[in-house]
Amino acid sequence: MIRTLLAALVSVSPTLLAAPFPGQDAFVAEVAAETGMAPSEVAAVLAGARKQQSILDAIARPAEAKPWRDYRPIFLNQARIDGGRRFLREHRELLSRIQASTGVPAEVVTAIIGVETSYGSITGRHRVLDALATLGFHYPPRADFFRSELKHLFHLVREEDHLDIGELRGSYAGAMGWGQFIPSSYRAYAVDGDGDGRRDLFGSLPDIVASVANYFVAHGWQRDGLVTLPARAGADTRPFERDGLRLNTTLGGLRELGWRVDHDGGDQLAATLLRLDGNDGEEHWVLFNNFYVITRYNRSPLYSMAVHQLAQELALGQARGLVRR
> So what's the pLDDT on residue 322?
62
What is the arithmetic mean of pLDDT over 234-263?
95
The Cα–Cα gap between 127 and 171 comes to 8
SS3 281: strand
> So what's the pLDDT on residue 8?
45
Do the domain assignments include residue 192?
yes
Do the domain assignments include residue 118?
no
Record the pTM: 0.91
Predicted confidence (pLDDT) per residue in 91-126, tens digit: 999 999 999 999 999 999 999 999 999 999 999 999
Do the domain assignments include residue 240?
no
How many other β-carbons are positioned within 10 Å of the β-carbon of residue 143? 15
Predicted confidence (pLDDT) per residue in 197-229, tens digit: 999 999 999 999 999 999 999 999 999 999 999
Which run of H or E residues covers position 187? helix 183-189
Q: What is the DSSP letter of 61?
A: S
CATH number of residue 179's parent domain: 1.10.8.350
Catalytic positions, please?
A: 116
Do the domain assignments include residue 325?
no
Question: Of all residues in the chain, what percent carry a pLDDT higher than 90?
Answer: 87
Do the domain assignments include residue 95?
no
**Taking the C-alpha atoms of 193, 195, 201 and 206 in order, what is their torsion angle to the nearest 10 degrees?**
-40
The Cα–Cα gap between 268 and 322 comes to 36
Q: CB under 8 Å to 57, separation ≥6 — which residues?
A: none
How many domains in the chain?
Answer: 1
Residue 31: domain span? 3-57+126-218
Kindly list the distances between the CA atom of residue 34 and the CA atoms of 1, 4, 27, 222, 305, in Å, as whole numbers in the listed order. 17, 21, 11, 36, 38
> So what's the pLDDT on residue 323?
59
Do the domain assignments include residue 322?
no
Do the domain assignments include residue 207?
yes
Name the burial class of residue 69, with classes exposed (0-12), middle (13-18) and buried (19+) by CB atoms within 10 angstroms of its CB: middle
Do the domain assignments include residue 169?
yes
Give the mean pLDDT of the chain: 92
Nearest to 132 by CA among 50, 200, 47, 33: 50
Q: CB under 8 Å to 201, separation ≥6 — which residues?
A: 176, 177, 178, 179, 181, 186, 190, 207, 208, 211
Q: Is the pLDDT of residue 19 over 80?
A: no
What is the arithmetic mean of pLDDT over 290-308?
97
Predicted confidence (pLDDT) per residue in 178-189, tens digit: 999 999 999 999
Residue type, 3: R
